[in-house]
Amino acid sequence: MTFLDSAVWGGKFCSDGWRHSPARQPVTEPATGDRLGTVGVATAEDVDRAAARAAETQRAWAATSPQRRAAVLRRAGELFTEHAAEIEDWLVREAGSVRSKAGFETGLAIGECFECAALPAHPQGEVLTSEDARWSLARRRPAGVVGVIAPFNFPLVLGLRSVAPALALGNAVLLKPDPRTAVSGGVVIARIFEEAGLPAGVLHLLPGDGAVGRAVVEAPEVRVVSFTGSTPVGRAIGERAGRLLKRAHLELGGNNALVVLPGADVARAASAGAFGSYLHQGQICMTTGRHIVHESLVDEYTAALAAKADALRVGDPAREDVALGPLIDRGQLERVHCIVTDSVAAGAKLAAGGEIDGAGYRATVLTGLTTDMPAWREEIFGPVAPVVSFSTTEEAARIVNDCEYGLSVGILGDVGTAMRLADRIDSGKVHINEQTVSDEPNAPFGGVKASGTGSRFGGPAANAEAFTETQWLTVRPDIAEYPF
């Protein structure tokens, strides 16, 4: 039996052990439409039971020694390492990842676990001064039960980056993966922590549709909701969490800019731009969605980028050596094509691509855009690179900031000019002489404006802020005297 053998999880979800479900959904390979298995679908009632059970087990888990919690996280990292090949196969077949992306994602998962293994040993507060004769402390306590709702595009790491720190800091977790990646974004995580020695009832895997997600948000025991996904869904979750007086950490969409400064190396810049726009078929919140190129380089850059796009093969990453795999489903494929064709109808020019290719989409370059065209304004979530020019750094800053999103920006070229430009940009991340797609387990990740609520994932400070509450604690040597 393999680590992810369907005999363990087929037709089941995980809540205090693997449970058979009368409702099931197929696990489908987007490149071929083949069925890879079935998973059990949870109901709102299952969520309610799981939340109550999680609240019971959380107190004992929080009282577990820091060394023991750290050991579970370290063992999880070791298990990801031991079973990396099998996990990568699932990311390729279920999520449509090319092999290099699957390896990158699994590597991030390994790093996340080892990084979070240190969290239980980090300082859990601070000593405060007090005018009274007492000790005054601000200490961090686990939030309690955390609800995690994860997307399909990087299903493993975008779920794990909330699950792992929440567990390390003494919380219980309800995990709802995207239904399209319930194995690589859910079963894998549940199996890893099961084998790592996490007590039963602390982590619950609850696949399902939007009704299950709403139940996770609304469960009274859930005190923190961690959501990664689209801005419209994030708004709805944030509104509901706000009415329930719950914290919602929302990491949402992006329409990220890559600025190519005058004098930049065009060949290297086009390579960076192609990677930023076409990695994982552009299905990344950090994808380079806008190429803003100095007027002295724009023609040369566009030609170089189009040549790169034309050379990228589209196909089935499980059976072919390709650069672009399938889009997650037919609906997303048709949406991408519609954005491209609508922009071309409005006057944009195709320099490369613009075609459906089986279950995938050809790497595309668009020029001649105006700022009101859908390919420029919208988060496409497909392999499309729109290019415009600028003449001054002031104009570049204005174009970058003229966007509802603010997640990631790359600036290529002279470092001094890039630093001055970075100071004028509204973005959660800025990468100088790199493209827009970058993530590390110890780095604060998140956006501003419509890209999120300003919360961050990654690093001890951000994780503590996300998954703990601060408690003020005072201690006196004797009972105080009062005037009443």
Residues that are catalytic? 251, 285
Task: Quote the CA–CA distance of 283 and 278 in Å, as a whole number.
Answer: 8
- Gap between the Cα atoms of 398 and 23, Å rounded: 51
Provide the token pair at 210: 């939007």
Alpha-helical (H) ranges within 117-256 are 155-168, 188-196, 210-218, 231-243
Residues 169/467, Cβ–Cβ less than 8 Å: yes
Write the secondary structure of 88-148 as one string of H (helix), E (strand) and C (coil): HHHHHHHHCCCHHHHHHHHHHHHHHHHHHCCHHHCCCEEEECCCCCCEEEEEEEECCEEEE
> Rounded to 5, what percent of the chain is helix, strand, coil?
40, 25, 35
For the record, the structure tokens of 361 come out as: 């989409």
Q: Are 207 and 186 in contact (CB under 8 A)?
A: yes
Alpha-carbon distances, residue 51 vs 16, 196, 220 (angstroms):
11, 22, 8
d(CA 376, CA 354): 15
Task: Report the alpha-carbon distance of residue 187 to residue 174 in Å, rounded.
Answer: 13
Q: Tell which phi-psi region holds residue 165, choosing left (phi > 0), alpha (psi between -120 and 50) or beta.
A: alpha
d(CA 80, CA 77): 5
Torsion of CA 448, 154, 213, 198, to 10 degrees: -110
Strand boundaries in 168-315, DSSP class E: 172-176, 203-205, 222-228, 247-251, 256-260, 288-294
* C-alpha to C-alpha distance for 231 and 250, rounded to whole angstroms: 9
Q: How far apart are CA 291 and CA 66, in angstroms?
A: 47
